[in-house]
Amino acid sequence: MDEGYPEDDQWCEEQRARVESYLKEEQVKHGRIGDSPAWHVSPYVSIWAVESLTRPEWIGWWVIAGDLPTDYVSADEIEPPQHPRKATKAIAERWLEWVQATRQGREHEDLQIGGRHPNLELATLLESRANLLIEFAGNDAHWDEE
């Protein structure tokens, strides 16, 4: 994780703004967004903890942003204990489900990426990003102790 560089700080600020805009666009009711990402590799990926509106001081959502689609997952879908590593893996696995549905010519039941029509080129790109995220999630060297 890159820390302490002005470019890194600026990139994180841009990603936080992107997360805030995305949650508003998706009409996700939430509390505070972390001041900084829970985990990131600048300028590629960031994972943000977002406070639950119904349970203040608790994480309600995890949001991914960077050089990939911005997406979120409910913290309820993440196996305890809460950790950005688990959120990263959960989002990536969901993307792979979307890729599989797209390749089968059908829509994913609760995830829409890039419009309503199957896009095999996008599926290939998303599959490579998802596999890379799963690889990152599985490598202890990329994470602080849980």
Instruction: Report how far residue 45's alpha carbon sits from residue 143's, in angstroms, rounded to the nearest whole number.
Output: 14
Q: Is the model's pLDDT at 38 over the cut of 70?
A: yes
Average pLDDT of the residues in 28-55:
95
Confidence check: pLDDT of 3 > 60: no
pLDDT score for 6 = 73
Range of the structural domain that residue 62 is part of? 6-142
69 occurs within a structural domain: yes
Higher pLDDT, 110 or 89: 89
The reply to whether 41 falls in a domain is: yes
116 part of a folded domain: yes
Residue 90 lies in a domain: yes
Terminal Cα-to-Cα distance of the chain (whole angstroms): 15
* pLDDT of 111: 66
Closest CA to 88 of 37, 124, 43: 37
Q: What is the mean pLDDT of residues 36-46?
A: 95
DSSP state letter for 93 = H
pLDDT at 98 > cutoff 50: yes
The answer, yes or no, to whether residue 1 has pLDDT greater than 50, is no
Mean pLDDT of the chain: 89
Q: Is residue 1 part of a domain?
A: no
pLDDT at 21: 97
The arithmetic mean of pLDDT across residues 27-48, rounded, is 96
If one counts the domains in the chain, the total is 1
> Is 108 among the domain residues?
yes
pLDDT above 60 for 2: no
**3-class SS of residue 66:** strand
Q: 118 in a domain, yes or no?
A: yes
